[in-house]
């Protein structure tokens, strides 16, 4: 029996081309030694995941690390892209002490570099110091994270809800909150009954 010669499968070129793209390399690869030298003991781990530089830090140190990232002339991360959070509740290895991951994404416009800071906070007391003193724009996005996840930002100038109404009692993007809500959307009075 002679084995039929199988044609070699032709893979789409996208993935390889993406890896070799000079733009991706330039934008995302940061020298880990440089970052370790700059941040020192403030960070717990520095990794490159999916070609993105991720810095793991703690609630006590995250704002200090952000201040270094912004103030250091070599790093020069002068723009706060976003602050958001992830609810880890549905993960297989869920630990209530690691309920939320607060993510600060900063970008350096002159250097074209990006860093993601990840901070893990517990379920019982989800507190992170506010970055509003370092990046002024942080105040708005921290209100959003507070509104959706209930993470409290210590030292925030005005921590109120921003998307949901002030009377709202829940944090809708937490995984234990149902998608269709708990009846708030049906709880209004008809116009005729208001008189």
Partner 1 sequence: MGIEQMIPSLAGEGFFTTQINKVIGWARKNSLWPYPFGTACCAIEMMATLNSRYDLSRFGTEVIRFSPRQSDLLIVSGRVVLKMMPVLTEIYQQMGEPKWVISMGACASTGGVFNTYPQIQGVDQFIPVDVYVPGCPPRPESLIDAVLKIQQIIDGQAERGEFTRPTVEAN
Q: Interface with partner 1 by CB under 8 A: which residues? A: 164-165, 168, 172, 177-182, 184-186, 188-192, 194
Nearest approach in angstroms of CB 177 to partner 1 is 7
Rounded Cα distance, 141 and 83, in Å: 6
Rounded Cα distance, 146 and 140, in Å: 10
The strand pairing partners of 119, in sequence order, are 57, 102
Nearest approach in angstroms of CB 108 to partner 1 is 36
Going through 2-129 in order, the beta strands assigned E by DSSP cover 43-49, 52-57, 79-87, 100-108, 113-121, 127-129
Nearest approach in angstroms of CB 193 to partner 1 is 9
Which lies closer to partner 1 via its Cβ, residue 93 or residue 169? 169
Which lies closer to partner 1 via its Cβ, residue 50 or residue 188? 188
8 Å CB contact between 80 and 100:
no
Which lies closer to partner 1 via its Cβ, residue 82 or residue 184? 184
Nearest approach in angstroms of CB 162 to partner 1 is 11
Which lies closer to partner 1 via its Cβ, residue 23 or residue 185? 185
SS3 182: coil
């Amino acid at each position: 029996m002679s084995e039929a010669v199988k044609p070699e499968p032709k893979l789409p070129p996208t993935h390889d081309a993406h890896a070799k793209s000079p733009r991706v390399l330039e934008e995302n690869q940061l020298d880990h030694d440089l970052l370790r030298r700059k941040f020192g003991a403030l960070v717990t781990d520095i990794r490159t995941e999916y070609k993105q530089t991720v810095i793991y830090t703690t609630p006590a140190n995250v704002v200090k690390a952000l201040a270094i990232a912004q103030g250091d002339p070599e790093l020069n991360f002068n723009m706060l892209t976003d602050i958001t959070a992830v609810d880890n509740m549905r993960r297989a290895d869920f630990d209530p002490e690691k309920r939320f991951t607060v993510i600060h994404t900063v970008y350096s416009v002159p250097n074209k570099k990006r860093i993601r800071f990840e901070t893990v906070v517990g379920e019982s007391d989800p507190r992170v110091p506010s970055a509003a003193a370092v990046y002024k724009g942080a105040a708005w996005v921290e209100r959003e994270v507070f509104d959706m996840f209930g993470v409290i930002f210590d030292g925030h100038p005005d921590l109120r809800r921003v998307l949901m109404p002030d009377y709202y009692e829940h944090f809708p993007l937490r995984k234990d909150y149902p998608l269709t809500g708990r009846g708030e959307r049906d709880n209004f009075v008809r116009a005729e009954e208001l008189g």
